[in-house]
Every structure is written in C-alpha cells, then in structure tokens.
Structure 1
Amino acid sequence: MSAHLPAVVVVLTVLLLFFVTWQVGRARGRYGIRAPATTGNEHFERVFRAQMNTIESTVLFLPALWLATQYSSALLAGIGGLVWVAGRFWYALAYSQAANKRGAGFIISMLAALALLLAGSWGLLRVLLA
C-alpha cells in the first residue's frame, strides 16, 4: 500500500481542486457574480482567491511529491502529501470564512511541500553523486 500512497494523494488533490471549483460556482450563484467577473462581493472574492491560491500551490506541490516519491520514500512522500492536502483543505475552508483565518492551513501546506522538495532533492543529489 505504501508504494501507492502518493497516487492516492494525487486523487485527493484532484478532488480538492474539484471542491474549491465547486465552491466558486456555488458562491457565484449565491452572490450574483456572473462570469467572467471575479469581484463584487467580499465572500465570493475570498472563495475565488482560495481556489486560485490552491491551484497555484498545486503547481509547486505535484513536482515536489513526484521527486520525493522517486528519490526518497513513497511512504514518506505519501504522508507528506496527505499533510499538504489536509493543509490546503483547511486553508480553503478558513479563507472562505475570513481572510485572517487562512494562515495555519497555508503554513502547514507550504511546510509539507517544502519537506517533499527537500527530501526529493536530497535523494536526487545522492543518486547524482554516487
């Protein structure tokens, strides 16, 4: 199972992206923000930023997950990935409530991504120097 944990994390990441996209669509309807507008209601703008920030963070996270899986440990990469997904989910929920609540989820997810990047880079460096 541990070898497949990073793939489970990728599935959870895609589900997270579906979730934040659904939240934006729901907020558009609730607050009357018609596409392509992205402003006009503070609650909508927070949900929209949570979605965009999650997409941006995913671009950093997935390569770090791959590196850690390939060059470190699939189990540790999977655990780090689960922490990242949990942090981003917390971030999205907290940001939708109030902008000043998003900090903890942000820090958790960024530290998890950084740990994955460092583990993968260290493993790659060891292979290259061997």
Structure 2
Amino acid sequence: MQNLPALVTLLTVLLQFATAWVVGHARGKYQIAAPAVSGHPAFERAYRVQMNTLENTVMFLPTLWLAAHYGYVLWAGIAGLLWVVGRVWYAMAYLRDASKRGSGYLVSMVGWAATLVMGVLGLGRALLAG
C-alpha cells in the first residue's frame, strides 16, 4: 500500500493524456483548427473536460502527496482513487451531456477534500511537534 499514492499519480497522468487525446480527436472530427476553443458543442464539452480536469489536478496532486508524506499513505491513496474514479465519471458524463456531470464532480471533490484534510492535519501535527 506504500505505493498507492504513486499509482494514483500515474492514473492521474493517464487521465490527463486521455482528456488531451479526446480534445485532439474532437478537433479533427469537428474541424476546429487550433488555437480555436469553440465551435461544435461536442468539441467544447471535450475541451471543458480537459481544462477542468487539469485545473482540478493542480489542486489534487499536492494534497495527495502532503497527506501521504505526513502519514496517511493508505487513506490518501484511497481518497486519490476516489478522485480518479470521480474524474473519469465526470468526464464520461460531461462528454455525453453537460448537465449530467455533477455526480462525478461531487465524487472527485470528496476525494480531493479528504486529501486536503489529511494534508492539513498532518502538517499541523508536524508544526506543533517541531
């Protein structure tokens, strides 16, 4: 279980690649030439999935590793898996129908909030002890 946060990080990188691939595929399919970020609604959904996932990854990965570093390796990994599952759910739902993305987003935010709380608690403990 010591490697679970690393596995979650790898899955996150693969998720980032997948969202980028979907955008690239949509650019070709709907003939949206770069640097345009609007056009066909399906392309715009793919682009928003990629950008929102990237925005959330920037908040998620540091909290995952803070939580793991300060002693919550297993729980951080589990929360991280929850985040990844939520992000995949979010992406698949959003690509089909933007109004259906909420449940996946909520699941991913619960995973992120858990890593944030663990990171804050761990760092707080370390600061008080040292």
Name the residue aligned to 1:121: 120
1-side partners of 2:16 and 2:122: how far apart? 29
Measured after TM superposition, the shift of residue 128 of structure 1 is 1.1
Contact 2:76 2:114 in 1 (8 A): no
1-side partners of 2:71 and 2:112: how far apart? 14
SS in 2 for 1:3: coil
Instruction: Normalising by structure 1, report the TM-score.
Output: 0.96
Contact 1:64 1:116 in 2 (8 A): yes
Counterpart amino acid of 2:121?
Answer: W
Measured after TM superposition, the shift of residue 112 of structure 1 is 0.8
Name the residue aligned to 1:110: 109
Contact 1:24 1:48 in 2 (8 A): yes
Name the residue aligned to 2:3: 4
Contact 1:80 1:115 in 2 (8 A): yes
Q: Deviations over 1:53-98 (max 9, x none)?
A: 0000000000110111011311111111111011001111111111
1-side partners of 2:11 and 2:28: how far apart? 26
- Alignment coverage as a number of residue pairs: 129
Q: Percent identity?
A: 56
1:42-121 correspondence runs (5 A): 42-121=41-120
Runs of 4+ deviating beyond 6 Å: none
1-side partners of 2:75 and 2:94: how far apart? 28
2-side partners of 1:26 and 1:65: how far apart? 30
Instruction: Normalising by structure 2, report the TM-score.
Output: 0.96
2-side partners of 1:117 and 1:38: how far apart? 32
2-side partners of 1:56 and 1:72: how far apart? 26
